[in-house]
Structure 1
Amino acid sequence: MSTATATATASAPAAIAPLRQDAGVIGLVGLAHMISHFSQLLLAPLFPWLKADLNASYTELGFLMTVFFVVSCSVQAASGFLVDRMGPRPILFGGLALVGLAAFGFALSPNYWAMAACSVLAGIGNGVFHPVDYTLLNRKVSAPRLGHAYSFHGITGSLGWALAPALLVPLAIAFGWRTALAGAGTLAYGVLFVLWLNRRRLTLPAATVPAPARAGAHPAEGSFDFLRIPAVWMCFFFFFFYAVVLSVIQAFAPEAARQLHGVPVALAGMCLTVYMVCSAGGMVLGGFLAADPKRCEKVVAAGFGVAALIALSIGFGPVPALAVPALFGAMGFASGIAAPSRDLLVKRSSPENATGRVYGVVYSGLDIGQALSPLLFGTLMDHHQYQGVWLGLVVFQSILIASAFNVRRVRRTVLAPA
């Protein structure tokens, strides 16, 4: 491949593959992505049980989540290099195996520090999924179907978040938290078994798996030169801000809305579920809109713009308590519409031979944002600044709009194989 700089092109199949072939890849990748999001909520739904049995505070239990995301961030950036060198399939299988092992480790942990060690293991497993998933989708799915592939990928992630409490809490009530976590481990290994049975669908053609430079080759650029591409860093910061928005909605927005508008506790508890379900619906529509790459920035801006206006109305408007869950749903739908086009922004910024590395670095911004966001917004909640929480959410949603258009303005380059 030429080492001269040029406009990066999408690494898509030259011809449209049969629908069944593309659907198989999309389905398997989505199944793995569901387990990634499921693993992020292995512990949080079980905090009431863990607090009593481990004699730990909520701060200490929250630290287990911080450990998870810090490790996941570090691994996500590094795993992209492994994906580009070894191909995505072995990295994916390793990640799923580690997530399952961590779940069984949680179930057998005798004390808090054993749980912390398992959080490290779970973070390592979770850190591989985005570089793997997007490498497989970008390399194996036909270009006209990529928008739908990104849409389905986002939907399965939301389903993974929804599945964790739906599975773990009933098991914990019926059999205890250790059995619940053992069930989570069984699920992870069950998915690994399904993917192993269909492993041929997850193999890249030999020519598309970049290999180390052969003897006598003198590549002009190295493995880290993709970091000089401004669009990569614009995408990184875009996903950092996106993670802040998502973290606020998941952790603080329902309670802040409850305090502002007198929403009943049961109704406030529905807000996040409504948001996630409607977000998944928005992703379906967003998949069609992402079919035209030329308008992806406009779709992102429109989606987050509407979401920001809704957030502003919740934070500062005279909203009836019964209307709050519906507004959460509308905000989720608008954000979901933007999601497939958001992923397309990264694809357009990725040199075709550095897909894993780019997605590893870019999506590490998600973990960093989710690790840092509670420090700011948790302080606002502690000081009863509930309107401040919603104002901060609007500010970060607005930053997302500007970031999307900035990605388009920067020049991309093509790298030599690493």
Structure 2
Amino acid sequence: MTAVSATNATLPPLRQDAGVIGLVGLAHLISHFSQLLLAPLFPWLKDALNASYVELGFLMTIFFVTSCAVQAASGFLVDRHGPRPVLFAGLALVGTAAFGFAASTSYWMMAGFAVVAGLGNGVFHPVDYTLLNKRVSAKRLGHAYSVHGITGSLGWALAPALMVPLAIAYSWRVALATAGVLAWAVLVVLLSQRHQLALPRTAPAQSHSSKAPEATFDFLRIPAVWMCFAFFFVYAVVLSVVQAFAPEAARHLHDVPVALVAGCLTVYMVCSAGGMVLGGFLAADPTRCEKIVAAGFGMAAVVALVIGLAPLPALAIPVMFGAMGFASGLAGPSRDLLVKRSTPENASGRVFGIVYSGLDIGQAVAPLLFGSLMDHGHYTGVWLGLVAAQALLITSAFNVRKARRTALAPA
């Protein structure tokens, strides 16, 4: 048997890999969906709870701070107990939080269920990447990361598309209760297919060894892990600016009609998903992932610079958002491979938990800086800050490679 035929013989069936990728992607959709449960309903919640926008925004801060803490800790649970029970618990908590939001009669009840929602959301990245890394064949991993990113973007797009029409037609409580039904429906689907989410059995760990506690935290000594953490912190800043401030800043700079501004983020997310499809093919060769990340975010930075400084017609702005989204999406699967290549064997949950907690921290910090720029009318400054963050992503990607090579170099 030739080497090629031997490789094909050991490659798992496409249906098997596709089943795992689809189930993990469905769970990831609910994770991103849960992050935008409340924000689209702020106009209704402001009156119902007699709360200011600052107070409503603080509900999101509670959510992301909780999610950050849980994300770092849940990776240890995933490595110890497996990803499946942790995933089921996360989905159950997200659904419970949505029903709790719907039943809330005060701001502080909302705050309490924001903690519950953060607890649920915090488990998804350590779970998802452990399942993908251990259940999907290496040759299809780039496509797995691509689908994972696409479903996340679809979750962000689904939240306002579902919640706002339901709130208009019925009430904000009906919208949130429907979100709870959706989360629990996905949980039922995953429970029915739980055999596809079971990890292969491995030899039991020698937990009685005196070195076991040290080994549990050895991954924290790897410089590349912390460089990945920094990379995702900056990535979260970029994402937060695009989602919360960039469309409005572009409206002021280029006199964009409100109707066009409302569609900019949707265009960005849809084009980002398209970029991730192509990015999945480009990520087939893991050795070039840093170059793909640099190229993607480099193109996105150029587009952002043009929007921030050049005189553009209003109709061009959604197109520019689409180009920026496609370029960023192109880098998505390779971005995840940066972490995969820095992850020690049997530490996937812990590494992805620590690294992706940078996302929550970045999304909690970015509004403070860029919100201040918006309040003071520094709309060009918002776009230049976005360009700077995208440029920093390029540098961070190559720093991850440098840190990884340093760790692998012989002493």
Give the corresponding residue for 1:183. 178
Contact 1:108 1:178 in 2 (8 A): yes
Q: Aligned equivalents of 2:212 and 2:358: distance in 1?
A: 29
The equivalent position to 2:14 in structure 1, one of 3, 8, 19, is 19
**Pairing 1:288-303 to 2, within 5 Å after superposition:** 288-303=281-296
Q: Aligned equivalents of 1:115 and 1:174: distance in 2?
A: 22
- Identity of matched residues, %: 75
**1:108 maps to 2:124:** no
**Post-superposition shift, 1:222?**
2.6
**Pairing 1:10-49 to 2, within 5 Å after superposition:** 15-49=10-44
Q: Aligned equivalents of 1:371 and 1:194: distance in 2?
A: 32
**1:351 maps to 2:344:** yes
**1:392 maps to 2:385:** yes
**One-letter identity of the residue aligned with 1:30:** G
Q: Deviations over 1:162-189 (max 9, x none)?
A: 0001111111111101111000000000
Partner secondary structure for residue 246 of structure 1: helix
Q: Deviations over 1:44-90 (max 9, x none)?
A: 01001100111001110000000000000000000000000000000
Partner secondary structure for residue 208 of structure 2: coil
Q: Aligned equivalents of 1:15 and 1:387: distance in 2?
A: 54
**One-letter identity of the residue aligned with 1:286:** G
Q: CA RMSD in A?
A: 1.5
Q: Aligned equivalents of 1:349 and 1:218: distance in 2?
A: 22
Q: Deviations over 1:1-22 (max 9, x none)?
A: xxxxxxxxxxxx9931100000
**1:308 maps to 2:301:** yes
Q: Relative contact order: is structure 1 or structure 2 higher (C-alpha 8 Å, sep ≥ 6)?
A: 1
Give the corresponding residue for 2:66. 71
Q: Deviations over 1:198-228 (max 9, x none)?
A: 00000001117xx553335644843112111
The equivalent position to 2:376 in structure 1, one of 357, 371, 383, is 383
Structure 1 segments of 4+ aligned residues over 2 angstroms from their partners: 211-222, 411-414
Give the corresponding residue for 1:229. 222
Contact 1:85 1:212 in 2 (8 A): no
**1:366 maps to 2:354:** no
Q: Aligned equivalents of 2:219 and 2:10: distance in 1?
A: 27
Give the corresponding residue for 2:401. 408
CA, structure 1 residues 178+212, in 2 after alignment: closer, same or farther (shift >3 Å)?
farther
**One-letter identity of the residue aligned with 1:162:** A
Give the corresponding residue for 2:206. 213
Give the corresponding residue for 2:237. 244
The equivalent position to 1:168 in structure 2, one of 150, 160, 163, is 163
Q: Aligned equivalents of 1:251 and 1:75: distance in 2?
A: 24
Give the corresponding residue for 2:84. 89
TM-score (norm 2): 0.95
Which has a greater percent of helix?
Answer: 2
Contact 1:102 1:119 in 2 (8 A): yes
CA, structure 1 residues 206+14, in 2 after alignment: closer, same or farther (shift >3 Å)?
farther
Q: Aligned equivalents of 1:406 and 1:16: distance in 2?
A: 33
Q: Aligned equivalents of 2:64 and 2:214: distance in 1?
A: 31
Q: Aligned equivalents of 1:281 and 1:178: distance in 2?
A: 34
**Pairing 1:327-346 to 2, within 5 Å after superposition:** 327-346=320-339
The equivalent position to 2:148 in structure 1, one of 149, 153, 159, is 153
**1:139 maps to 2:134:** yes
**One-letter identity of the residue aligned with 2:368:** L
The equivalent position to 2:252 in structure 1, one of 227, 245, 259, is 259
